[in-house]
Chain A
Amino acid sequence: MAIASDSLSVPGPSETVGPSARVRLSRNGALAAGTVIVGVWVLVAFLAPVVAPHSPLDLDVMNRLQPPSRQHLFGTDEAGRDSFSRVLYGARITIPIAVGVIAVASLLGAAVGAVAGYVGGRVDEGLMRVVDVVLAFPSIVLAMAITAALGAGLRNAMLAILLVSWPEFSRLMRAQVLAVRSNEYVTAAQALGIPTPRLLVGHVLPNAFPPVVVKATLDIGNAIILTAALSFIGLGAVPPDPEWGAMIAAGQAKFEYWWVATFPGLAILSVVLGFNFLGDGLQDLLNPRLRRD
């Protein structure tokens, strides 16, 4: 490995004190890229009925499995439906589901974590053991079991994703509350006799919450992949629905019709990358002390 070449330079003050302008720029770049990608996809979700050249559900048996062309940018699927329109409409299913599920999961998880961290003692011990247990399951396996138990379908898949997503927020929020609690201004507020609920909501939570927002943004990406995975297996969206995972499943083992699975996958990849960039950028914006580089 060519390690020796740039040897012997001892990092000077300019390198160790504070993040370089370049790092800051690249992080802001992440925020900008994330905002643009997510923004475009949100627009697509809203405008799909206007922008899409075809209906996502219209069958055209004469034009089954056509390769991409000017008329069908992403080709057509096994029922002759326009893949491009279906990919656009897919944003209307996946993005609201992922955002909604993670919004609820983060609030629920954060509430549990805040109680555990603030109350401490046995309550803390008990709640954290529950969190540990849920985290011991690989998320897709537990989500599969829950969806199978409740019955296949997007609604139950959402519930399953919610149930596997909250515990990490609890762990994060608990650590945050423990850290914020030990600050002197909290002790001061306590000394002033401010009642516990107000202390928690007014003094502790606002300072403990930013990392939760960052994690929530990053987890939206995971929720999108999990939704698609459950649909891919056949436990989520029902076939004619233009859901990305289900569309990839329809293209499985049809190698000569590569376009059927490729484009919905690219849609997932880009939207998840967008949320990951956004989360990375937000981390920098919300908590400048957290810059790791």
Chain B
Amino acid sequence: MLLTYLGRRCVVALVALFGVVLIAFVVAHVVPADPLATVLSDMATKDPSVRAAYVKRWGLDRPLPEQFLAYLGNVFRGDLGESFTTRRPVLQDLWQFLPATVELSVAALLVAVGFGVPLGIWAAVRHNRAADHATRAIALAGAASPIFWTGLIALYVFYYVLEWAPGPGRLDTHLTLPPRVTGFLLVDSVVARNSELFASAVRHLILPATVLGWFVMGIVSRTTRASLLEVLAADYVRTARAKGLREGVVVGLHALRNALIPVITVIGLTFASLLSGAVLTETVFAWPGIGRYAVTASTRLDYPAILGVTMLTAVIYIAVNLVVDVLYGVLDPRIRAQ
């Protein structure tokens, strides 16, 4: 039963992946200029021999459906073209910049869940009282503020005025990066046994992660609240109360376990918002991840780079949701049966 469920989810994910490449292909081909401009820089397109080689590699001398197959083949082999700005294969660039984004997003997710879930519980338990209204206000403000602006304001207050936080970037400027093992600074600095680096990396991570986490925290706290309210009205909770259990036990042991199942789905769904937010947060905080890479690429019309990031983020989203679906199926047997 569980296996058929897993199989079905994997097929859906594969279909989505195929669609993602198709959309990237369509975007690449609505570029009014030369389709070669999506894989080659200006200089290179003028050289006839380079042109001919690329036309062959991307199948541009063949009909559109075949072109798509060639594109699909190249993408699945990991050939995403070369970035005009860095002059390196896009895949290599993505590999270099992705860890910074993942580090930021995971830290932000920890902030969002670490504060969002308790806030949601608090709001549900104090339903329709001050705490409930306060968490609603936080959620509303988080959803309504443009994250690139929140980031700037946070930098202004905590870095410029109060001097509590370090400035933009991943490390203090006088420090050099540790040798790359994983690309995650927190891990690599531990591997290099360099506590100064680790401390600097942590301090630089706090502000952007909080800004990005706050952006998603509202959704997490609202879902936790709604789901917990629903569960608290269930018969078995009433039974638990009637047995004379303390409210803390009723909420913490009986209600919360079931209430958190939808929260897991929502965390998966918010991953797209998290990645969207990361793009802009990275720009504001000079964070060398794929978001800033994509922004630089898009303003310089570096098509291979921007399409590479576009596909990569979609693939991450699909993968995360596949994991969430699976987790959901494991946690809630009813889902598998459907």
Contact = CB atoms under 8 A, between A and B. Distances in A.
* Chain B binding surface, main DSSP class: helix
Nearest to B145: A269
Contact of A233 (B144, B229, B248, B299): B299
A146 interface: yes
- Size band of the interface chain B makes with A: 35 or more
B160 A255 contact: yes
Contacts of B279: 138, 140-141, 144
B247 A3 contact: yes
Of residues B12, B149, B318, which shows the largest number of chain A Cβ atoms within 10 Å of its Cβ? B149
B272 A138 contact: yes
Given A138-B273, A232-B148, A273-B141, A145 B280 contact: no
A292 B128 CA distance: 12
A16 B294 CA distance: 50
B23 interface: yes
Contacts, number: 175
Contact of A150 (B30, B233, B251): B30
Of the four ranges (under 10, 10 to 19, 20 to 34, 35 or more), the interface on chain A belongs to 35 or more
Nearest to A148: B298
Contacts of B16: 129, 132-133, 136
Nearest to A271: B144
Contact of B241 (A8, A252, A255, A262): A8
A234 interface: yes
Interface string A1-27: 101101110110000100010110000
Contacts of B20: 133, 136-137
Contact of B276 (A6, A135, A138): A138
Interface stretch (A177-185, A198-206, A221-229): A221-229
A137 B303 contact: no
A145 B307 contact: yes
A22 B15 contact: no
A132 B321 CA distance: 12
Interface string B272-283: 110110011001
A273 B27 CA distance: 33
A276 B141 CA distance: 10
A251 interface: yes
B40 interface: no
Interface of A: 1, 3-4, 6-8, 10-11, 16, 20, 22-23, 129-130, 132-142, 144-152, 221, 225, 228-229, 232-235, 245, 248, 251-252, 255-256, 258, 261-262, 264-265, 268-269, 272-273, 276, 292-293
6 contacts: A1-B118, A3-B252, A140-B279, A141-B279, A147-B298, A233-B283
